[in-house]
């Protein structure tokens, strides 16, 4: 006899070092009348369910908010000169857009390697998230390939000096929402593409994952996610019965708190 399957709803809160927090409410399909809510396999099941209910851009935004600060760290823009494009096409062996995109990703990785080597020589830490872009962020139309790199302020100049194929510019990260970098990251994600199994962005290995509370069973799955007391509202997705929901907000003083939750990679 087949086991009965039902849906349980869970809530998890992510806390980033810049004070931005995000609550997620997501469904988990469980079998049996009284499942045991402990054990490694059940925790894996919850992680898979949450991943299916979210998008890659949410993970990238959390990483950015946890490792970079608006008004303090910077974003580098790297473009190709005509000579740089000729070299890129020569390396790709064609001007077909997918081949050019992959060749540009490779050039970005070479630039980062040069910057990392120079930083290591000078004893400077380099932290970054890099995007290769060839789409208009609003229309999705093809544009000339270029790169965006969110980078710690100490390493920004090293990225600029390491770029050899065109112009390199730098500006401070900006946010109008209490330092939240989510909108900017989503804008960068909309300009990039995923080819094969590669991520849309290239993060450095020394980036820290945000702290996340252990998932808790939602008492009222149909209710909208609530803003914690003392927090500043930023954004909430529409609440529909039977659909996941997200709530993003700023918690003053969070940066000084000692985390007592598990870290989710």
Report pTM. Answer: 0.85
The third-level CATH classification (topology) of the domain covering 74-172 is Alpha-Beta Plaits (3.30.70)
Q: Which of 101, 158, 163 is nearest to 132 (CA)?
A: 101
Quick count: other Cβ atoms within 10 Å of Cβ 123?
6
Determine the pLDDT at residue 244: 86
Instruction: Render pLDDT for 130-164 as a digit per residue (tens, 0 to 9).
Output: 999 999 988 989 999 999 999 999 999 999 999 99
What are 216's two structure tokens? Answer: 């808790």
What are 68's two structure tokens? Answer: 């970079």
Please tell me the distance from the alpha carbon of residue 202 to that of residue 187, in angstroms, as a whole number.
16
Q: Which of 20, 23, 12 is nearest to 252 (CA)?
A: 20
Please tell me the distance from the alpha carbon of residue 155 to that of residue 124, in angstroms, as a whole number.
7
Quick count: other Cβ atoms within 10 Å of Cβ 34?
6
CA atoms within 13 A of residue 58's CA, in its CB half-sphere: 18
For the chain, the structural domain boundaries read 5-67+209-263, 74-172
List beta partners, residue 135: 142
- Averaged over 14-24, what is the pLDDT? 95
Secondary structure (H, E, C), the chain: CCCCEEEEEEEEEEECCCCEEEEEEEEEEEECCCCCCCCHHHHHHHHHHHHHHCCHHHHHHHHHHHHCCCCCCEEEEECCCHHHHHHHHHHHCCCCHHHHHHHHHHHHHHHHHHHHHHHHHHCCCCCEEEEEEEECCCCCCEEEEEEEEEECHHHHHHHHHHCCCCCEEEEECCCCCCCCCHHHHHHHHHHCCCCCCCCCEEECCCCCCCEECCCEECCCCCCCCCCCCCCEEEEECCCCCCCCEEEEEECCCHHHCCCCCEECC
Determine the pLDDT at residue 106: 96
Determine the pLDDT at residue 39: 59
Does the structure show a pLDDT above 70 at 214?
yes
Q: What contacts 220, CB < 8 A, 6 or more positions away?
A: none
CB 204 within 8 A of CB 127: yes
Confidence of residue 252 (pLDDT cuts 50, 70, 90): confident
Q: How many residues does the chain have?
A: 265
Instruction: Render pLDDT for 230-249 as a digit per residue (tens, 0 to 9).
Output: 999 999 988 777 788 999 99
């Amino acid at each position: 006899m087949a086991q009965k399957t039902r849906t349980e709803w869970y809530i998890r809160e992510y806390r980033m070092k810049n004070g931005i927090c995000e609550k997620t409410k997501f469904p988990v399909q469980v079998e049996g009348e009284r499942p045991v809510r402990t054990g490694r396999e059940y925790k894996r099941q919850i992680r898979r369910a949450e991943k299916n209910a979210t998008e890659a851009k949410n993970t990238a935004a959390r990483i950015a908010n946890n490792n970079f600060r608006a008004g303090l760290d910077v974003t580098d823009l790297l473009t190709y000169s005509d000579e740089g494009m000729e070299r890129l096409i020569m390396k790709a062996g064609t001007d077909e857009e997918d081949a050019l995109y992959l060749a540009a990703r490779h050039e970005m990785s070479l630039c980062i390697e040069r910057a990392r080597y120079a930083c290591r020589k000078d004893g400077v830490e380099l932290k970054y998230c890099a995007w290769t872009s060839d789409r208009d962020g609003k229309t999705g139309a093809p544009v000339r390939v270029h790169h965006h790199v969110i980078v710690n302020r100490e390493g920004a100049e090293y990225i600029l000096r390491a770029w050899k194929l065109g112009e390199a510019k730098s500006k401070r990260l900006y946010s109008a929402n209490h330092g939240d970098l989510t909108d900017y990251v989503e804008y960068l994600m909309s300009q990039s593409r995923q080819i094969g199994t590669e991520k849309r962005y290239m993060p450095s290995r020394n980036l820290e994952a945000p702290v996340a509370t252990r998932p808790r069973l939602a008492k009222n799955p149909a209710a909208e996610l609530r803003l914690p007391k003392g927090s500043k509202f930023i954004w909430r997705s529409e609440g529909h019965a039977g659909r996941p929901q997200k709530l993003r907000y700023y918690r003053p003083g969070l940066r000084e708190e000692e985390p007592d939750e598990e870290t989710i990679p």
